[in-house]
Amino acid sequence: MKSIKNLDLEQLFGESIHIKESKNIVNIGLHRHNYYEMIYYYKGEAISCINGTELYLQSGSLYLLTPTDLHHTYEKNQNNDVHFINISFTEDMIDREIVTRLQQPIHIHNLTEKFKFFPLIELLRCAKNIKEKQHLLNVLHKDEFLLLFAS
């Protein structure tokens, strides 16, 4: 049996929140981590296997992984150009009420152009200090946005 990698956000990046835009998928195999991970695909196609369920991802797909989710992701086609934004954050970065609501199984939604995801991410990426990032992360997960995960 293959060993399962356990990733730690602060060991990997030295911070409680990390935002990364990527143009390819690095297949690190089956893993889990001690943090939440929200991923928004805006170009290309990928397959993600989460807790034994395979999900098809395409432009507009958004999903959230909790610290208990066992997963791996790979490109659908080898020559596929995949672009996505990954926001990783620890539990202490979001309000307690949000943590409770996010303890649901994985959710995925295909967002329409009406959803203004990029401006929120840009604000988060440009935030100067951890308090600003924490505030914006909580705003991102409240109200209408959080309803996306309430199915």
Q: Which of 83, 87, 27 is nearest to 60 (CA)?
A: 83
CA atoms within 13 A on the CB side of 98: 24
Mean pLDDT, range 67-72, rounded to an integer: 88
Q: Which whole-number Å values give the CA distances from 68 to 36, 44, 64, 85, 105, in the listed order?
A: 9, 27, 11, 21, 9
d(CA 143, CA 87) in angstroms, rounded, equals 19
Closest by alpha carbon to 12, among 122, 70, 88?
Answer: 88
Q: How confident is the model at residue 93 (pLDDT cuts 50, 70, 90)?
A: confident
What's the average model confidence in pLDDT over 107-127? 66
Q: What's residue 105's pLDDT? A: 54
| pLDDT one-digit tens code per residue, 123-147 | 777 788 888 888 888 777 665 455 5
Winning range, highest mean pLDDT, from 90-94, 95-99, 134-138 = 90-94
Residue 90 has pLDDT above 50, yes or no: yes
